[in-house]
Amino acid sequence: MEKRVTGIGGIFLKVENPESTKNWYRKHLGIESGKYGATFEWRHVQNPDKKGYTAWSFFDQDTEYTRPSKKDVMINYRVENLTELLAVLKDEGVEIIGEIEEFYYGKFGWIMDPNGVKIELWEPNDEEYDKIKGETNLSS
């Protein structure tokens, strides 16, 4: 397998009050957030006509989504072939969490790093993500 991670798909932080925190970032740093957070759009270096997205959002401190991790951060990495990558990682002894979940804007899988941080892997469908980003400003 040549490529594993191709970029950062999202950064997710657990906080005590997500709405208050989003408002702080809006006021002081100008980051506009939808219901689920903010989306940063960028272009692919080798194909500038193709859009890509990085999500940035907050989860409530008590979220179940980042479990079994007890950490306050979860990084989402963009990948090219999630199914193949998860098979390789499993063979390498990496802990796989749950099953692949598929949505019209991409496939998701999860692993644990050696420090107990849950990592989300995303094989995006950027064309479909582009259609929904305006309504939620995030896909997670």
Q: Note the pLDDT of residue 137.
A: 46
What is the residue extent of each domain of the chain? 5-136
Q: What is the pTM of this model?
A: 0.84
pLDDT value at residue 125:
87
Q: Helix or strand or coil: residue 88?
A: helix
**What CATH fold (topology level) applies to the domain 5-136?**
2,3-Dihydroxybiphenyl 1,2-Dioxygenase; domain 1 (3.10.180)
pLDDT of residue 139: 37
Phi, psi of 17 (to 5 degrees): -140, 95
Specify the pLDDT at position 133: 57
Alpha-carbon distance 8 to 137, whole Å? 16
Report pLDDT for 103. 92
What's the pLDDT score for residue 138? 40
- pLDDT for 35 equals 84
Q: What would the two tokens of residue 15 be?
A: 């906080």
pLDDT of the residue at 131: 60
- pLDDT, residue 44, reads 86
pLDDT of residue 45: 87
Q: What per-residue confidence (pLDDT) applies to 140?
A: 37
User: pLDDT tens, position by position, for the chain (140 residues)?
Assistant: 678 999 999 999 999 999 999 999 999 999 999 888 899 999 988 889 988 889 999 999 999 999 999 999 999 999 999 999 999 999 999 999 999 999 988 999 999 999 999 999 999 987 766 665 554 444 33
How many helices (DSSP H) and strands (DSSP E) are in the chain? 3, 7
Query: Between vectors from CA 85 to CA 79 and to CA 86, what angle results, nearest 5°?
Result: 115
